[in-house]
Structure 1
Amino acid sequence: MIESENPNTLDEPVIQTILRDLKMIGFKLYHVILPRGNAANVLRDWDLWGPLILCLVMAIFLSISAEEQKALEFTIVFVVVWCGAAIVTVNGQLLCGNISFFQSVCILGYCIFPLTIATIIIWIIQNFTMIVKLPIVGGAWFWSSFASYGFLGSSVPESRRLLAVYPVLLFYLVIAWLVVVQ
């Protein structure tokens, strides 16, 4: 059998598939943690496993810390992340962006990683005052916004870049607000 660039994955064991996917998720998270200018093509090979896991982790931790209506908190986080990513993506498409819908949702989903980490930190060390929460979540918001700009900034024409970035900043700001008020 000749090995090709795109091997047939139907014959591989499930554990090998899971490990390959986890490795790709880790690789993409690495580029979100350390965004560089040459990483624009990293998330072109999109997947939604990483964003789904990050969204679920954030929603679970925020719903655990909710005093009442835990299911509602979980639902709000889940809907805000996925519908917000879809709206921001459609905005980018309407501004003549050259990135596909799922690539954009993938990028926006992976870039919530810093906010997910902030959620976990605030959950672990509970009873934070607002003065302590704001710098943690503010830094995570900045990091998420900066990382997503590195990926999405080049997908929109220069003259429309601000119109594309502003909704991204608002998207992460809404998620950051959900984390702060937990």
Structure 2
Amino acid sequence: MDAPLSSERAVDCIGTLDEPVVDTIMRDLRSVGKKLYYVMLPRSRSEAGAGLKQWDLWGPLFLCLILSIILWANAPENQQEVVFGLVYVIVWLGAVVVTFNALLLGGKISFFQSVCVLGYCICPLVLAAFACLFLPSSIGSIVKFILMLIALHWATGASVGFMSELVAEDRKALAVYPVWLFYVAIAWLILLN
């Protein structure tokens, strides 16, 4: 016969099927907010790494959607659908390629955890793309380039900190270069728009 559940274990065993939808949505939004906090202000790698081990794809999906909408709104009318779809292809296919590269190099990470980290780390690029919407065209290109450099540095720095801890010391460059290339492709797409 099974031992009675402690109060802690009993709470963990209760499913979310009986939970109100509002509670579920609020819990997921708090989780997304916490992960964005870890990415935007990466103070403690161990705390952030522990927080990002509980992966989800809601945040990366919303960030990709926001970036797609920003670039769609700024694209010429005959290219809007292509731009919208291209953002999704670059973000998700790029994250998958970078993840497989880390796994092939012997990285100790789950597939979805890596996609989660890479997806959350596009947040600085999304913020920079949003800021570029409001720039006047006279100074827009220079300021846009500077904003993209800052956002690229921020996104790359946040994700490289997580990804470089996953592989052996002699393979770090092989794991970090595709991460940098992934964010450069996204930043270039934003700059071209």
TM-score (norm. length: structure 1): 0.95
Aligned residues: 182
Q: Determine which of 121, 124, 132 is the counterpart of 1:122.
A: 132
Quote how far apart the aligned CAs of 1:124 are: 2.7
* Ranges in structure 2 where 5+ consecutive residues have no aligned partner: none
CA contact (8 A) 1:118 1:136 kept: yes
Structure 1 equivalent of residue 160 of structure 2: 149
Question: Which fold has the larger relative contact order, with Cα–Cα distance below 8 Å and residues 6 or more apart in sequence?
Answer: 1
Q: Does 1:83 align with 2:93?
A: yes
Paired residues for 1:100-115 under 5 Å: 100-115=110-125
Larger-gyration structure (1/2): 2
* Ranges in structure 1 where 5+ consecutive residues have no aligned partner: none
Structure 2 equivalent of residue 60 of structure 1: 69
Quote how far apart the aligned CAs of 1:4 are: 2.7
Structure 2 equivalent of residue 50 of structure 1: 59
Q: Does 1:96 align with 2:96?
A: no
Give the distance between the partners of 1:164 and 1:7, measured in 2 at CA: 40
Structure 2 equivalent of residue 132 of structure 1: 143
TM-score (norm. length: structure 2): 0.90
Runs (4+) off by over 6 Å:
none
Q: Which sits farther off after the overlay, 61-70 or 164-173?
A: 61-70
Quote how far apart the aligned CAs of 1:126 are: 4.8
Q: Determine which of 157, 174, 180 is the counterpart of 1:169.
A: 180
CA contact (8 A) 1:40 1:150 kept: no
Quote how far apart the aligned CAs of 1:65 are: 0.2
Structure 1 equivalent of residue 192 of structure 2: 181
Question: What is the aligned-residue RMSD (CA, Å)?
Answer: 1.4
CA contact (8 A) 1:28 1:42 kept: yes
Give the distance between the partners of 1:6 and 1:23, measured in 2 at CA: 21
Letter in 1 for 2:65: L
